[in-house]
Structure 1
Amino acid sequence: MAARVVGRTGRLAAVVRSSAVRLQSRLHGSTGLRSGSQANFFPPLEDAMLPSGSFNNRMALITGGGTGLGRAMTATLSQLGAQCIIASRKLDVLQRTAEEISSQTGNKVHAVQCDVRDPQAVSQCVDQIEALTGLPDVIINNAAGNFVCPSERLSPNAWKTITDIVLNGTAFVTLELGKRLIQNQKGASFLAITTIYAESGSGFVVPSASAKAGVEALYKSLAAEWGRYGHRFNIIQPGPIRTKGAFSRLDPTGAFEKAMIDRIPTGRLGTPAEIANLAAYVSSNYASWMSGAVTPDQWKLLEAMIRKTKGS
């Protein structure tokens, strides 16, 4: 129940995840280790994993970058030398975060207001980003929304709220930036933060599960189509990570956290810094081979084959 990375190295899928949760839960009673002591064997190492300067002279856009995982990823990328742009609806939150991270790392963090649900607002946001820093080298689609609700109580507006932020917002940001990057013949790394249940499904969070699954289909599709333009597309599916915003909505009583810890092989939740290190690696040049890939030569061959079939 750690993070899973969905991408491709060459033409082989690269998947990283923890040991099987079911196996651990079966053995848990016989080991004599409770989750509290078990976690002592797997303490989080939260220092930046990559060498200093790994992101020098690179620009990174992080949506939802003012809080939670977005803030953690911004702090790590800024520490590693990136000039970061954080975007969300709440400009005051963004500005506080930008000032705090800039003062810690010495690298400029820009705050840009953007409602990812609105394609016109996204276009204006990208205009502003181009004027501030130029088009980014790294794009992390992290903006999200979620809540717990029995599906029989879901209203159309509740469904629309989540899918607009998660699926449509990711699509609007990705397509707007992708088109401009292609026009400017500039490559970039795209990363989406989804969730483990995007693949498996999960009760009581159906809008989020559906929207995140859509994001994964979007990224897998564009990885094949836009690799020829120098674009990489990868996905991180985090397991349970304690962040104030998410846990206040999804686990207000703390019961979920207690039940999950007993099923996690390392005996603890993940930390935002651990996901930030993984995101930095996947977005860096150290992972330049990690993406869904169709080479220009492969595309020419596919295109020629498609043309031969027209009218048949």
Structure 2
Amino acid sequence: MTNSVTNAQSSVFQSNLLAGKTALITGAGSGINKGIALHFARHGANIVMVGRRQEKLDETQAEIEALGAKALGCSADVRDYAALAEAAAKGVAAFGPYSVVIAGAAGNFIAPADKLSANGFGAVIDIDLKGTFNTFRACSEHFAAADVSLIAISAPQANNPMPMQSHACAAKAGIEMLIKTLAIEWGPRGVRVNGLSPGYVADTVGGELFMSADDGAALKQKIPLQRVTNVAEMAEMALVLSTPVSAYMTGHIIALDGGISLVGGGAW
């Protein structure tokens, strides 16, 4: 699997755009969130990475430090608020208060509802929805004085029912309402809360799952732009949401999905 953001990536933004700012990113050991961490590091941010596998965080930290940026990997499960709060505190002690927080940790699998166990359903709700709340709540004790950007990772399933994804649909729908509620509550504090809803991302485990049968040919036919996206595009849009470009945007979810949500299409 290739991750296009691990290589040198062009950007429309200046390389020092996030200089001196601290960003906490959950799920940063792999996939989209790792790509975001590397992209933000290239733009000067200090990166606090949270994930369950310390060895993956160590790998990402080494890549970030090779770029000349600073990073700290903290092993924690987003379902465990106490562990997450401890990780958030460690990050602040290392680099200072948070200007950007990205709740990206997620879990998913394919299962028909009548075969889905209560534990399986609950696991996805706990990782995705509860994990998003835990991330934002733990970091809320350590926000920068002004101009704070929170980003939650959603998915088209939040608004488009998808068979065999009842757990993910429920979790992502909850995340989007959480985004809007926190945008209202925390706006007076100078905190913006938005979401990023990726479609099918080629260079991730999830993307390869949906495209494995025919290299995605059938899936791409359902997407208006006739292609899938990649980690690099996700990272650049996350950067947009973390900069003054979006200073007056809050409570919104950016659908970076090639138009698949417009036609309500799923992978099958």
Per the TM superposition, whether the score is higher than 0.5 is: yes
Gaps of 5+ in 1: 1-44, 294-312
The aligned counterpart of 1:203 is 163
Equivalent AA in structure 2 for residue 54 of structure 1: L
Preserved contact between residue 200 and residue 207 of structure 2 (Cα < 8 Å): no
Aligned twin of 2:187: 227
Question: Partner amino acid for 1:274?
Answer: E
Q: Is the 8 A contact 2:211 2:219 kept in 1?
A: no
1:65 correspondence with 2:28? yes
Q: 1:129-208 residue pairs with structure 2 within 5 A?
A: 129-181=91-143, 185-208=145-168
- 155-164 or 128-137: which moved more? 128-137
Q: Is the 8 A contact 1:60 1:82 kept in 2?
A: yes
Quote the residue 2:57 is aligned against. 94
Is residue 275 of structure 1 aligned with residue 237 of structure 2? no
Q: How many residues align?
A: 245
- Match for 2:33: what amino acid? G
Aligned partner of 2:210: which letter?
D
d(CA) in 1 for partners of 2:40, 2:145: 24
Identity among equivalent positions (%) equals 30
Q: Is the 8 A contact 1:48 1:76 kept in 2?
A: no
Q: How does 1:268-307 map to 2 (within 5 A)?
A: 268-292=227-251
State the alpha-carbon separation in 2 of the partners of residues 255 and 198 from structure 1. Answer: 26
Pick the structure with greater CA Rg: 1
Counterpart of 1:86, as a letter, is M
Aligned residues of 1:240 and 1:269 also touching (Cα < 8 A): yes
Greater relative contact order structure (CA < 8 Å, 6+ sep):
1
Q: What is the Cα deviation at residue 116 of structure 1?
A: 0.3
Structure 2 residue ranges without an equivalent (≥5): 1-7, 253-268
TM-score by length of 2: 0.86
Which of 14, 20, 45 matches 1:51?
Answer: 14
Task: Give the alignment's TM-score, normalised by structure 1.
Answer: 0.74
Output the amino acid matched with 1:220: K
Q: Are the aligned partners of 1:196 and 1:237 in contact in 2 as well (CA < 8 Å)?
A: yes
Q: CA RMSD in A?
A: 2.0
Alignment partners' CA distance in 1, 2:246 and 2:204: 30
Contact 2:92–2:142, Cα closer than 8 Å, also in 1: no
Secondary structure in structure 2 of the residue aligned to 1:166:
helix
Tell me the alpha carbon deviations over residues 172-221 of structure 1, each in whole angstroms, 9 at most, x when there is no partner: 1111212443xx75541000111112112211111111111111101100
CA apart distance, 1:67: 0.7
Identify the match of residue 242 of structure 1 among 184, 189, 202.
202
